[in-house]
């Protein structure tokens, strides 16, 4: 290699290193946008099988409906379903939330009295102590304004995450063709197979997760009502949300139910604890194997590792995204191993 060639190699290596570093810095600066795009892409991939099913079944004179109409029909279905659920559950839910806000000081006093008598709390505080320790009015207003900004930001993020999948689904065919054009011709069939496998995995995860959340939320609401726990609508909603977080979500969702059951009687708290344990036992041993493991195909060990990594990196959001991300990684690893195994066989 001549000195000129060496200089070109060194210059190319330095240029690539600088470009890679600049790209990493730019990705870090826009990490929130990239995370939003990733969540929207997961939703779009998960909803794509449902959109295809609507396109196949809703035909007029053997001509399929436009894709935008199929996507709109799916969005309208979810909107109507959410409206029906809110119409049925929101009035008693709001009433129970208002009553909980009124009764909460009494519950705190009762809990504090129990802790003092048990020797777990050194002294008894009053609401006057809390008021005296409140921040200054100016600081409170600043904190309130910051909280309001945070709420507006979260609302804007949620709206974006819900709207962006519509356009991703609408342009999915063009995006798919454009992505394949970036791949070498000899690898396009393999890449297309991986994309289809990822779509199936994420779609199965999204459908299974929504079904599990609905089952757990409904059964928790019914069970807590039969046991006699107050605010069972609120607790059922908490249980449904907790089901979206693998492993630790149901455990955390059971804590407020047990505490509210304790305000009725210790026996009620034990019944709530037993019911929550039985519900999770049925879910882990019957529902999850049938709904999630058979469809998504992610082992419990992989779920645990993904959950630890995702929660440590992104907290609550990372815990929710852990399973679909693990499923995508699993598809890529399986395809890589299958390709590595196929090459020696082809050479022989």
Q: How far apart are CA 55 and CA 76, in angstroms?
A: 15
Q: Is the pLDDT of residue 136 over 60?
A: no
The tens digit of pLDDT for each residue in 162-213 reads 788 888 888 888 888 888 888 888 888 888 888 888 888 888 778 888 888 8
CB-CB neighbours of 347 under 10 Å? 6
Q: At 262, is the pLDDT very low, low, confident or very high (cuts 50, 70, 90)?
A: confident
Quote the DSSP letter at residue 66. P
What is the average per-residue pLDDT within 141-145? 59
Q: Is the pLDDT of residue 139 over 60?
A: no
- With pLDDT > 90 as the criterion, what percentage of the chain qualifies? 1
Query: Count of alpha carbons within 13 Å of 190, Cβ hemisphere only?
Result: 14
Q: pLDDT value at position 73?
A: 85
Q: How far apart are CA 325 and CA 298, in angstroms?
A: 10
Q: How far apart are CA 137 and CA 131, in angstroms?
A: 12
Q: Cα-flanking dihedrals φ and ψ of residue 19, to 5°?
A: -65, -40
b/e burial code for range 176-195 (CB count within 10 A of at least 16 → b): eeeeeeeeeeeeeeeeeebe
What is the average per-residue pLDDT within 208-221? 86
DSSP string of 98-149, one letter each residue: HHHHHHHHHHHHHHHHHHHHTTSSSS---HHHHHHTSPPHHHHHHHHHHHHH
- Phi-psi map region of 157: left, alpha, beta (phi>0 left; psi -120 to 50 alpha): alpha
The tens digit of pLDDT for each residue in 12-42 reads 888 888 888 888 888 888 877 888 888 888 8
Give yes or no for a contact between 229 and 258, defined as CB atoms under 8 angstroms apart: no
**pTM of the complete model:** 0.63
β partners of residue 60: 63
Give yes or no for a contact between 322 and 306, defined as CB atoms under 8 angstroms apart: yes
Structure tokens of 225? 């009502």
The tens digit of pLDDT for each residue in 247-258 reads 667 888 888 888
Structure tokens of 228? 């006699």
Burial class (CB in 10 A: 0-12, 13-18, 19+), 244: middle
Q: pLDDT value at position 261?
A: 83
């Amino acid at each position: 290699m001549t000195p000129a060639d060496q200089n070109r190699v060194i210059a190319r290596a330095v240029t690539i290193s600088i470009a890679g570093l600049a790209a990493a810095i730019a990705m870090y600066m826009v990490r929130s946008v990239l995370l939003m795009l990733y969540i929207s892409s997961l939703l779009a991939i998960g909803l794509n099988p449902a959109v295809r099913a609507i396109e196949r079944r809703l035909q007029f004179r053997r001509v399929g409906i436009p894709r935008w109409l199929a996507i709109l029909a799916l969005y309208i279905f979810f909107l109507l379903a959410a409206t029906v659920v809110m119409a049925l559950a929101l009035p008693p839910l709001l009433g129970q939330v208002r009553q909980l806000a009124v009764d909460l000081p009494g519950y705190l006093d009762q809990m504090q009295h129990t802790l003092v008598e048990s020797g777990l709390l050194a002294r008894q505080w009053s609401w006057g102590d809390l008021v005296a320790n409140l921040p200054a009015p100016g600081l409170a207003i600043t904190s309130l304004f910051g909280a309001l900004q945070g709420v507006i930001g979260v609302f804007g993020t949620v709206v974006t995450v819900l709207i962006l999948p519509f356009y991703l689904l609408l342009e999915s065919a063009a995006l798919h063709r454009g992505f394949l054009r970036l791949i070498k011709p000899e690898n396009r069939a393999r890449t297309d197979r991986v994309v289809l496998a990822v779509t199936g995995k994420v779609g199965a995860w999204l459908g299974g997760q929504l079904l599990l959340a609905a089952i757990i939320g409904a059964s928790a609401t019914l069970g807590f009502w039969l046991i006699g726990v107050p605010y069972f609508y609120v607790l059922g909603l908490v249980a449904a949300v907790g089901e979206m977080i693998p492993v630790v979500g149901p455990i955390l969702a059971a804590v407020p139910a047990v505490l509210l059951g304790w305000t009725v009687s210790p026996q009620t708290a034990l019944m709530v604890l037993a019911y929550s344990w039985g519900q999770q036992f049925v879910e882990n041993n019957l529902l999850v194997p049938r709904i999630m493991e058979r469809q998504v195909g992610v082992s419990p060990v992989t779920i645990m590792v993904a959950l630890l990594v995702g929660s440590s990196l992104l907290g609550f959001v990372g815990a929710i995204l852990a399973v679909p991300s693990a499923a995508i990684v699993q598809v890529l690893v399986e395809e890589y191993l299958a390709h590595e195994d196929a090459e020696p066989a082809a050479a022989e």
